[in-house]
Structure 1
Amino acid sequence: MATFIADYLDTVDLQWREVDILVDEAVRVQESNEYLYNALCRSITVLIVAHMEGFVKGAVKNIISDYASVKFKELPISIKRTYCKKYLGFDEKAFPGYQDAIQCLMDDLEKTDDFKISPEPFISDRNKNPKPDVIGNIASRFGVGDIFKNLHESRFDKIFAMTSPQIKNALEVISVLTKRKVCDFPYRVRKNAYYTSPALYRGRSLWQTFLDDLNQKRHKIAHGNDFANATDINSLIDLKDKVRILQYSFLLIICSEICNTQIQ
């Protein structure tokens, strides 16, 4: 029986085909219809950001749907703690004894056999745009200290030194391997897969800078500040493929953390 997250990844593939249709049309009219070409490129940019935003929320919901079948006492500690914060809030300095209160809630819920977790506490209720701090905050709710440390100097960082064909090939490989790792539950994702062991970085990491630029492109278009087309179709194809790779890396790093956390 397929997992919820595996089924969701198939749905995500269909969503990206929508973008591919626009890409094909933009390539077709690139030399013959400048206005349509520019409109298509702007639309592609907005959709790329929208799909990244939707993926973060969708991946979280489906991971939690898979873990909802697990007894509370057998859940990874990070999932138990985050779920209990649903009742006390996420500000750990909100009141004295916050940590003790979280532990008491965990102890009480561990005594039940029929309690089912839900995804709400794991999804950020602040800025919806896929900004680095939003993605980092959501990953932290699964026990990931700083997802950009995991990405730094990992195999995913090497994407920025690749040619377009190499990026596309890397996407195909990571897609197949990721689906294979999450097709059954429990998932089979080893600790720090693809050299994602946390590594320190100075300033902004490559992926943080990438997301900064991506959101800026979307912002200029959405707020009417960019009627011209600043990004050509070949660059957008690379952008699309990099975002898809980032989606898989986000999923893998979270799964790596919760699959290899001792039950406490």
Structure 2
Amino acid sequence: MSTKLAAYEDFVNSTAELNLLLAVRPHSPLVPRADEAIQLENAVHRACLVLLVAHFEGFAKGALSEYVDEVCAVRPPARKMPPAFLELFTRDRIQEIASLPPGVDRVHRTRRLFTAFSALWDQERTIDPQVISSKILSRQMTSLKPDVLRESFALIGIDDIIDSATSHLQGSGLSVRVDIKLEEIVNKRNLIAHGDYSVKPTSADLEDYVQFFMAVGDAFSTCVVRAIEEACTLRPPV
């Protein structure tokens, strides 16, 4: 497997769109008045921040989906998978069945639950891709809040992806608390999305945020690749 997730490469490529928007400057001949030019720049910067957060959220969900794709391709034995990962899909199907009205369909699905999902809990049986869904996993990540990210990536066996990312950044010479910085950026994005016009990130802010997300994305990619390798390496431990 590559040392980087395909989802991370897609995120890096998506930043080209932001660079195009950041190239907009207030001296554009299309906006002759200075105050209108400043409003244009503020609007572009606000839009860039919303886009940046959306692109990174897409990357994080894509990273989780990529884990599922690799697991489904290799089909390791259940003992190689994190228990929380196995429980997620079993629980999702139980909840689906419980929501059905009494009848033949609910009985049929309950019977199938025990035949199809029992393999997930037999340590030596290989994973059945038909009972695993990347959509179910990725939808656990409802925002970029640090606690949500921790919980989502814990499902694939990463103990604390935020602390891991912070250590990764510090090892690269960037002294920053990932959880604090994420909260700052996501809160600004939420204020903009809810119509708060007082939030006006500068071009320097945005360049800083892009570099931050690139570094955090690299750290996330490293963690997920390691998790994939742990799950999909079939040779017995030494």
TM-score, normalization: structure 2?
Answer: 0.70
Q: Which residue is 1:151 aligned to?
A: 165
Q: Which residue is 1:132 aligned to?
A: 146
Per-residue CA deviations over 1:181-234 (Å, capped at 9, x if unaligned) read xxxxxxxxxxxxxxxxxxxxxxxx810000110111111111112x14532101
Within 1, Cα distance between the matches of 2:7 and 2:169?
A: 24
Task: Find 2:212's aligned residue among 237, 242, 264.
Answer: 242
Gaps of at least 5 residues in structure 2 are 93-113
The one-letter code matched in structure 1 to 2:16 is R
Within 1, Cα distance between the matches of 2:56 and 2:137?
A: 17
Q: Which residue is 1:63 aligned to?
A: 67
The one-letter code matched in structure 1 to 2:181 is F
For residues 245 and 69 of structure 1, do their structure 2 counterparts lie closer, same or farther at Cα, with a shift above 3 Å needed? same
For residues 24 and 72 of structure 1, do their structure 2 counterparts lie closer, same or farther at Cα, with a shift above 3 Å needed? same
Task: Find 2:135's aligned residue among 97, 115, 120.
Answer: 120
Within 1, Cα distance between the matches of 2:127 and 2:186?
A: 43
After TM superposition, give the deviation of residue 146 of structure 1 in Å: 1.4
Q: How does 1:46-125 map to 2 (within 5 A)?
A: 46-73=50-77, 76-78=80-82, 81-88=84-91, 105-108=119-122, 110-111=124-125, 115-116=129-130, 117-125=132-140
Task: Find 1:206's aligned residue among 177, 200, 211.
Answer: 177
Per-residue CA deviations over 1:159-196 (Å, capped at 9, x if unaligned) read 544xxxxxxxxxxxxxxxxxxxxxxxxxxxxxxxxxxx
The one-letter code matched in structure 2 to 1:140 is A
Within 2, Cα distance between the matches of 1:258 and 1:113?
A: 14
Please tell me whether the aligned partners of residues 71 and 114 of structure 1 are also in contact (alpha carbons under 8 angstroms). yes
For residues 65 and 75 of structure 1, do their structure 2 counterparts lie closer, same or farther at Cα, with a shift above 3 Å needed? farther
Larger radius of gyration: 2
After TM superposition, give the deviation of residue 47 of structure 1 in Å: 0.8
Matched, 1:222 2:228: no
| Higher share in helix | 2
Q: Which residue is 1:20 aligned to?
A: 19
Within 2, Cα distance between the matches of 1:16 and 1:210?
A: 19
Within 1, Cα distance between the matches of 2:40 and 2:184?
A: 24
Within 2, Cα distance between the matches of 1:218 and 1:59?
A: 22
Within 1, Cα distance between the matches of 2:129 and 2:230?
A: 23
The one-letter code matched in structure 2 to 1:144 is I
After TM superposition, give the deviation of residue 121 of structure 1 in Å: 4.0
For residues 75 and 62 of structure 1, do their structure 2 counterparts lie closer, same or farther at Cα, with a shift above 3 Å needed? farther
The one-letter code matched in structure 2 to 1:14 is N
Higher alpha-carbon deviation: 104-113 or 129-138: 104-113
After TM superposition, give the deviation of residue 12 of structure 1 in Å: 2.5
Please tell me whether the aligned partners of residues 152 and 206 of structure 1 are also in contact (alpha carbons under 8 angstroms). yes
After TM superposition, give the deviation of residue 20 of structure 1 in Å: 1.0
TM-score, normalization: structure 1?
Answer: 0.64
The one-letter code matched in structure 1 to 2:91 is L
Task: Find 1:40's aligned residue among 30, 40, 44.
Answer: 44
